[in-house]
Structure 1
Amino acid sequence: MKNTEIRNLSLEDLKNQLKTEQTSGQTMRFAHAISPLENPLRLKQARKNVARLLTELKRRENEQATNTAN
């Protein structure tokens, strides 16, 4: 996912996408431990997507915190 796509997601969609990426990443890691994946770079992409989603989620939480504090 691109950052622009992530920013356009609603908060609920963002959380759902995060869960989906985390579970698929975990499944890929287990599968890779048993037998090598055809494309091991997918593991790297999954980690980066999770990091992007978490970053956007944290940014929105901080934005809400500063808006309520003012």
Structure 2
Amino acid sequence: MKKTDIKGLAESEIAEKLKESRTELFNLRFQLATGQLDNPHRITMVKRDIARLHTELRSREIAASKSQAQ
């Protein structure tokens, strides 16, 4: 997921993607522990997606607080 894709989403959609990504990360870690994971790099990619989603949510919070302060 790219930054431009995330910017076009509503906050509720971002929250849903975040929930899905966390579930996927849990499943990937479980597969890693049981030796069934085919692509270990996928864990890194999902972690980065989660970080991007959190970053976008936080930047929207900051922008909202700045607009309310003015």
TM-score (norm 1): 0.94
CA RMSD between the two structures: 0.8
For these two proteins, the number of residue pairs brought into alignment is: 70
CA distance, structure 2, for counterparts of residue 62 and residue 33 of structure 1:
38
- The corresponding residue for 2:9 is 9
Per-residue deviation at 1:36? 4.3
Q: Say if 2:22 is the partner of 1:22.
A: yes
* Pairwise CA distance, 1:37: 1.0
State the Cα deviation string for residues 32-51 of structure 1 (Å, max 9, x = none). 11114111000000000000
2:37 match: secondary structure = coil
Whole-Å Cα distance in 1 between the matches of residues 56 and 18 of structure 2? 10
* 1:62 lines up with 2:56 in the alignment: no
* 1:61 maps to amino acid: E
Structure 2: state its 5+ residue gaps.
none
TM-score under structure 2 normalisation?
Answer: 0.94
User: Identity of counterpart residues, as a percentage?
Assistant: 34
How far off is 1:26 after superposition? Answer: 1.2
Unaligned ranges ≥5, structure 1:
none
In structure 2, C-alpha distance between the alignment counterparts of 1:43 and 1:9, rounded to whole Å: 23
